[in-house]
Structure 1
Amino acid sequence: MKEDEDWLYEIKPKGRLIDLNLKEIWRYRDLLVLFVKRDIVTVYKQTVLGPLWYLIQPLFTSVVFTLVFNTFANINTGVVPPFLFNLAGVTLWNYFKECLSTSSTTFTANAGLFGKVYFPRFIVPASKVISGLFKYIIQLFIFFIFYLYFVFFKDASIAPSVYIWLLPICVLNMALLGLGVGMILSSLTTKYRDLTILVSFGINLLMYLSAVMYPIAEARKKSSDYSWLIEANPLAQTIELYRNLLLGSEYLNFNGLIISSVVAVVSLLMGLIVFNKTEKTFIDTV
């Protein structure tokens, strides 16, 4: 090849801290689609119920939450049916959990693949977020079925907020938070494997501080000394607003949405910085 002839592709170390090469990701878009299809199709392959697990998990979780928190613990959800209240929170929480848990294993779960062939590593966690969105849409569809049931057959006094158009921002915030924090954890687990164990039960603990199964107002009423932990949680603010947008509420915390949006963007940028730095040397430590 002549010296002045241009290469078709050139692989070189990233020179910037935040380097999201969209042009290169677009070039590998077929691989991204392939990863998304793999995540959707193979997760429940060779299982008895298959994709029905997408529906069973949020429904059973909502039933248990309704029994434990609303029946036994007497958590008040106002005019909103407790089951519908819990299903709304669980649906969005499951999407965040999917984004965080799957992207946090990017390097350890794909070490063999990364060591054999080059492609933009960011495609892997990005594919997890996209495939998780597919599962979220299915669960949201089930939520609307129960929503219509409670409205037309149970005469529930609920209606979507006039600010329902903000709903995609709530979903985007959860995706960015899960992706950003997941990439940071994925980078750390290349050196500290026990973080994988911490992530698994840490997510479950975080759910109780994220107002998934109770309103923030109830937490403030029952434990005013510790409610600040929940109010300072951007996940709790996003889930609360998301639920109020779907089920209707006079109180909409737009300041919480702004703060959670800023935190989501910052976490993504920090995740990219750590991810890009670890990408260069992780194969020596995994």
Structure 2
Amino acid sequence: MVRTIIRPPGRLNLPAWRELWDAREVFYRFGVRDIVLRYRQTVVGLAWVILQPLIAAGVFSIVFGLVANLPTNGIPYFVFSFAGMLAWNAFNGIVTRSSGSLVANQSLVSRVFFPRMLVPLSSIISVLLDFAVAFAMFVVLLIVFRINPGWPVLLTPVWLLLTVLLASGVGIAASALTVKYRDIAYVLPWLLQILLYATPIAYSISAVPVGLTWLFELNPLTWLMEVFRWSLLGQDLAEPWQVVALIVTSLAVFGGGVLVFQKMERGFADVI
């Protein structure tokens, strides 16, 4: 005889991590389905993953490199901007895909019981695949331009993990809020577009006027770009404190996103 014990949520209402682990097959299936749906019936398939950062890096090279002539600390502008787009695409991809995932799967969410948090989290799988393909192209660029990033390149998985935590926290919270407030689906892309230019992705933090540097340094994505370029391009890390700040912020944002999701999950089936 199997005994099921139902316990009330604790003060923080943390998720049942064992339950999430037991349902990991759901996480995998949602992730694979996302990949299949994204690239099915496309002419070039996964090549889009390479074309998007390549085209963006090319445009940034013309606008910021040739026209504005912004500094890149000796790194060819195309490679410099491509490295920034690697980190940005990982963050943007998780936030964008996870934020609308619950609404896109509303028939399953309202009728079938499973840990709903796995739906927005499953977007991580497709984003990591995109990152792996684009990173392979980036390695080719390093070889072509003869850039040796040195040993810090070994820390790239650490920065990628922090990117996943930071983006997942935002995406999980946004997915829960979108169920009740559909305005999020309109506001979030607009905010991400602003962040794209308010973050030193296509330009170096050294190009920012001195009087505005403090404002940019308050942006956690600035810290993310700095550590990525330190590992991928061998550039000096301007502010070592940003590493600690990035770790703390990523964990805090992820934890906050989980708590927001848990607080709103009970009402999903009623309002979705």
TM-score category, normalised to shorter length: over 0.9
Q: TM-score, normalised by structure 2?
A: 0.94
Equivalent residue for 1:51, pick from 26, 46, 53: 46
**Is residue 2:216 matched to residue 1:230?**
yes
**Partners of 1:206 and 1:252 in 2: how far apart?**
21
Corresponding residue pairs, total: 272
* Paired residue secondary structure (2:248): helix
Q: Which segments of 5 or more consecutive residues in structure 1 lack a partner in the other structure?
A: 152-157
Aligned to 1:179: 168
- Amino acid paired to 1:130: I
In the alignment, which of 267, 273, 277 is matched to residue 253 of structure 2? 267
CA displacement at 1:104 relative to structure 2: 1.2
Q: Match for 1:67: what amino acid?
A: I
CA contact (8 A) 1:36 1:128 kept: yes
Cα distance in structure 1, aligned partners of 2:49 and 2:136: 11
Equivalent in 16, 32, 36 of residue 31 of structure 2:
36
- Seen in structure 2, the aligned counterparts of structure 1 residues 250 and 267 have a Cα distance that, compared at 3 Å, is closer
1:167 is aligned, of 156, 178, 186, to 156
1:6 matched to 2:2: yes
Instruction: Tell me which moved more, 186-195 or 272-281.
Output: 186-195
TM-score, normalised to structure 1, is 0.89
Query: What is residue 140 of structure 2 aligned with on the other side?
Result: 145
Pairing 1:253–2:239 present: yes
3-state DSSP of counterpart to 2:151: coil
Deviation at 1:132, TM superposition (A): 0.8
Higher helix share: 2
Distance 1:60 1:97 in 2: 17
> 1:57-106: CA deviations, max 9, x gaps?
11101100101111111111121110000000001100000111111113
Aligned residue identity for 2:260: V
When Rg is computed on C-alpha atoms for both structures, the one with the higher figure is 1
With 165-174 and 210-219 compared, the bigger mean Cα shift is at 165-174
Q: Per-residue CA shift, 1:24-61, capped at 9, x if unaligned?
A: 22222222221111111220211222221111111101
- Inter-CA distance 52–46: structure 2 relative to 1 (3 Å threshold): same
RMSD: 1.8
Indicate which of 243, 246, 262 corresponds to 1:276: 262
Match of 1:239 in 2: 225
* CA shift for structure 1 position 10: 6.3
Asked if the contact 1:89/1:212 (under 8 Å) is kept, the reply is yes
